[in-house]
Amino acid sequence: MNSVADSPQIDFTRQRKVVDALAAFLPEHALLYAREDVQPYECDGLSAYRQMPMVVVLPDTEAQVQRILQTCHALRVPVVARGAGTGLSGGALPPGDGVLLSLARFMRILDIDAAARSARLQPGVRNLAISEAASPYGLYYAPDPSSQIACSIGGNVAENSGGMHCLKYGLTVHNILKLRAYTIDGDLLEIGGDGLDSAGYDLLALMTGSEGLLAVITEVTVKLLPIPERAQCILAAFDDVGKAGQAVANIIAAGIIPAGLEMMDKITTGAVEPFVNAGYPLDAEAILLCESDGNDAEVAEEIERMKAVMRASGATEVRVSSSEAERYRFWAGRKAAFPAAGRVSPDYYCMDGTIPKRALPRVLKAITELSVKYGLRCMNVFHAGDGNLHPLILYDANQPGELQRTEQFGAEILKLSIDVGGTITGEHGVGVEKIDAMCMQFKPLELATFHAVKAAFDEHALLNPGKAVPTLHRCAEFGRMHVHAGQQKFPDLPRF
């Protein structure tokens, strides 16, 4: 995580050349390069990685975006797009020798088509602002990352962001219809359409989650859904984490797709309770939050079925929210997990592996063992319904060696996720953070395919270089280091 030391210094001759070229068409306020002006852009939500950008541009028209890209392409200057900078994998970490392209001024909701249930947005529109604007029509935008008050829809598309409700309502990829995007050559791509599919290859799916490596998104059309009549939430407590994991599987096996299904372990409830006074049972080893939404009769029926499954799975306590206020209280603790981690520890590191749900008890046990091994506490919160884990490793960067131990701890969790048939990132992206872990998950030929896909859009690899897909050379280095350090993790774990 400590790439600060490797940061290249700004090359002022190069900077002058790029600034001059951009100043030819950008107004003064849209072009920053003085140290104090570009400093706010030196990192995204993963602040352990920092780099001063050589130049920052803040365009507010598509024509400007196009010319910026054409100019950088001609000069062979790297470009990194940035939305709200809430990314957790260093995806928007600026280039020290290139241009950070902020989409923050593209804040307009261009159109809400209530009849067709869609909204056309500029990329800098905040996630929550979409649902706020749609609510007078009884509609909302379903994907709701915890960062929704801040993160941008452009960033959501670039990361394929999820949220509490994606088990039932899908990820970003399931909730968008159309994009306008510019390639590094300045070509406009209109991807997707107003219907439910489009001709040719499914570039809408390919663009989603592509972390700003393929094209710069300048407009997003999203689907809007009708707001459910009612929602109700169950809080179930368990005296054993494994039992809670089994309850998750039992809910799904019973044919129920909850609107949300989240788990928190004891350390987490203990950390968030003083913060939000949610009334969590603090003696429970784990709690589940399980939500039902729909019309009145449907919710009543589903809640009964959910309660029965929870009890049969050995829940020591089952509470059902009796009011909207109580439902919000149940969720408040889950939503406050990250800030609470920040309160009980000077620093925390959020992981993002996804695993098959059946591996949950085994992985949780292994994380507990790793926590002892590294002498670092770890809060476990996750989107249990889809197996997306967010272990929060608590550390203190001022203690010598803790950051390194944290990184090793994190790397072991990622390796573990792969070993049980999962993935190194469920929703936060690879960015710079998990670039080495990509070498564990993919074979060289698969990585080569990713590079070929990238080259189909961006021949000279100028868009967000060094992110998301490692070079084969880097993986070879990483492999050597790995063997050298003798890090064969969990040789006794069965693999499938």
Ligand X SMILES: Cc1cc2nc3c(=O)[nH]c(=O)nc-3n(C[C@H](O)[C@H](O)[C@H](O)COP(=O)(O)OP(=O)(O)OC[C@H]3O[C@@H](n4cnc5c(N)ncnc54)[C@H](O)[C@@H]3O)c2cc1C
Residue ranges that bind ligand X, judged by CB under 6 A: 44-45, 80-88, 91-92, 103, 123, 145-147, 151-152, 154-156, 158-159, 161-163, 211-212, 216-217, 338, 427-428, 464
Return the one option of other proteins, ligand X, none that residue 138 interacts with (CB less than 5 to 8 A, by type).
other proteins
Pair 380, 361: CB distance under 8 Å: no
Q: Which is nearer to other proteins, 191 or 217 (CB)?
A: 191
Amino acid at site 355: I
Pair 295, 259: CB distance under 8 Å: no
Q: Minimum Å distance from CB 11 to other proteins?
A: 31
Contact between 196 and other proteins by CB under 8 A: the answer reads yes
Residue 51 CA to residue 47 CA, distance in Å, equals 10
Contact between 386 and other proteins by CB under 8 A: the answer reads yes
Beta bridge mates, 320: 234
Return the one option of other proteins, ligand X, none that residue 163 interacts with (CB less than 5 to 8 A, by type).
ligand X
Q: Minimum Å distance from CB 245 to other proteins?
A: 11
DSSP assignment of 475-495 equals: HHHHHHHHHHTT----TTS--
Pair 244, 286: CB distance under 8 Å: yes
How far, in whole angstroms, is CA 411 from its chain's centroid? 18
Q: Which is nearer to ligand X, 170 or 479 (CB)?
A: 170
Using the contact rule CB under 8 A, the part of the chain among 64-72, 123-131, 208-216, 373-381 near other proteins is 208-216
DSSP one-letter code for 399: S
Return the one option of ligand X, other proteins, none that residue 342 interacts with (CB less than 5 to 8 A, by type).
none
Contact between 27 and other proteins by CB under 8 A: the answer reads no
Using the contact rule CB under 8 A, the part of the chain among 52-60, 146-154, 293-301, 339-347 near other proteins is 293-301
Using the contact rule CB under 8 A, the part of the chain among 276-284, 365-373, 394-402, 421-429 near other proteins is 421-429
Q: Which is it for the CA torsion 83, 85, 91, 95, positive or negative?
A: positive
Of 206, 461, 472, 493, the one binding other proteins by CB under 8 A: 206
Return the one option of ligand X, other proteins, none that residue 173 interacts with (CB less than 5 to 8 A, by type).
other proteins
Of 86, 131, 406, 425, the one binding other proteins by CB under 8 A: 425
Kindly give, in sequence order, each residue whose CB lies less than 8 Å from that of residue 340, ignoring residues fewer than 6 positions away: 268, 271, 272, 275, 276, 333, 379
Of 42, 159, 402, 412, the one binding other proteins by CB under 8 A: 159
Q: Which is nearer to other proteins, 131 or 371 (CB)?
A: 131
Using the contact rule CB under 8 A, the part of the chain among 45-53, 78-86, 120-128, 202-210 near other proteins is 202-210
Contact between 421 and other proteins by CB under 8 A: the answer reads yes
Kindly give, in sequence order, each residue whose CB lies less than 8 Å from that of residue 186, ignoring residues fewer than 6 positions away: 66, 67, 69, 70, 73
Number of residues assigned to the chain: 496
Question: Hey, what's the torsion of the CAs at 252, 255, 257, 258, to 10 degrees?
Answer: -80
Residues 29-58 that bind other proteins (CB under 8 A): none
Return the one option of other proteins, ligand X, none that residue 170 interacts with (CB less than 5 to 8 A, by type).
other proteins
Strand blocks (E) in 360-480: 378-383, 388-395
Return the one option of other proteins, ligand X, none that residue 253 interacts with (CB less than 5 to 8 A, by type).
other proteins
Residues 440-479 that bind other proteins (CB under 8 A): 441-443, 445-447, 449-450, 452-457, 468-469
Q: Minimum Å distance from CB 101 to ligand X?
A: 8
Size of the site for other proteins (CB under 8 A): 97
Contact between 307 and other proteins by CB under 8 A: the answer reads no
Q: Minimum Å distance from CB 454 to ligand X?
A: 13
Kindly give, in sequence order, each residue whose CB lies less than 8 Å from that of residue 248, ignoring residues fewer than 6 positions away: 261, 263, 288, 357, 360, 384, 385
Contact between 297 and other proteins by CB under 8 A: the answer reads yes
Q: Minimum Å distance from CB 490 to ligand X?
A: 27
Q: Kind of pairing, strands 388-395 and 176-182?
A: unpaired
Return the one option of ligand X, other proteins, none that residue 24 interacts with (CB less than 5 to 8 A, by type).
none
Q: Minimum Å distance from CB 70 to ligand X?
A: 16
Using the contact rule CB under 8 A, the part of the chain among 66-74, 255-263, 329-337, 364-372 near other proteins is 255-263
Report angle CA 261, 83, 427 to the nearest 5 degrees: 30
Residue 287 CA to residue 338 CA, distance in Å, equals 17
Structure tokens at 117: 């249930």
Beta bridge mates, 118: 113, 223
Structure tokens at 304: 């009964």
Residue 87 CA to residue 352 CA, distance in Å, equals 12
Residue reference for tokens 């962001």: 161
Element (H, E) at 80: strand 79-82
